[in-house]
Amino acid sequence: METLAMHISNGIIDGPVAAIFAALALAALTACVLRGRRDLDDRLAPMAGLVAAFIFAVQMLNFPIFTAGVSGHLLGGALAAMLVGPWVGALCVSVVLVVQALIFGDGGVAMLGLNITNMALIGTAAAYVLIAVLLRVLPRTRAGLAVTAFVAATLSVVVASQGFVLEYWLGGTTDLGNNLTGLAGTMAGVHLLIGIGEGLITATTVLTVAKVRPDLVYALRSLRAPATPAVPVAGGVR
């Protein structure tokens, strides 16, 4: 068994639970493909490739949590959600995870469904929900965009880490030295620190893209602040 696996290693979660999550991940990714095809255009397609490459690079920063084969690292879900949207973003992260597992041996192949569920699906979905809320309540300024990216990245990493806690509760096979509450606290605490680093990277990257080509930021194109109702006045509309 790997002691410093980038993701969940083989044997951490039992086979039946891993198989269930593999089926769930496959179904969710199928939905992402069908929905993502509607979003793909001349801007989104090349950006998706760049996002996947960037996420692959940042995920190489690895922080071991337990000696039994569980570790933490940057996820990239928030960055993907902001730049290419939740559907294509989840696919970008999934492609990175598959390549890492099959070619570089990062994370167990049998655990691929679990890793995709946590990082590509839960992480990206949580990030996009936060992005959708924050972009509607914060001012549409560089500061507002930076806060949105930072908060979404930080909290989505913590949320994604709790997916592992659920999976371990359902079928954990390795003694990680904590009860479930302690495990949840350890995962949340470590990933909060990791999330802060990811938040800084995400905010910096999104601001850089937005400054040069705001039209390439999916969240800015798709999430609009509620329009202020026009007030009829004498002589026209103000």
List of residues 6+ apart from 228 with CB closer than 8 A = none
pLDDT of 68 reads 47
d(CA 113, CA 33): 16
Torsion of CA 83, 84, 86, 91, to 10 degrees: -120
Which of these, 201, 205, 226, 227, lies nearest to 216 by C-alpha position? 205
Q: Give the C-alpha distances (Å, rounded to integers) separating 19 from 2, 13, 37, 117, 123.
A: 20, 10, 27, 12, 20
Count other C-beta atoms under 10 Å from residue 128's C-beta.
26
What tens digit of pLDDT does each residue of 59-73 get?
Answer: 776 666 554 445 556
What tens digit of pLDDT does each residue of 189-204 get?
Answer: 888 988 898 999 999 9
Question: Which residue segments constitute the domains of the chain, with CATH numbers given?
Answer: 15-221 (1.10.1760.20)
What tens digit of pLDDT does each residue of 72-96 get?
Answer: 567 899 999 999 999 999 999 999 9
Q: Which two structure tokens, joined as six digits, stand for 86? A: 């939740």
What tens digit of pLDDT does each residue of 8-48 get?
Answer: 888 889 999 999 999 999 999 999 999 998 888 878 889 99
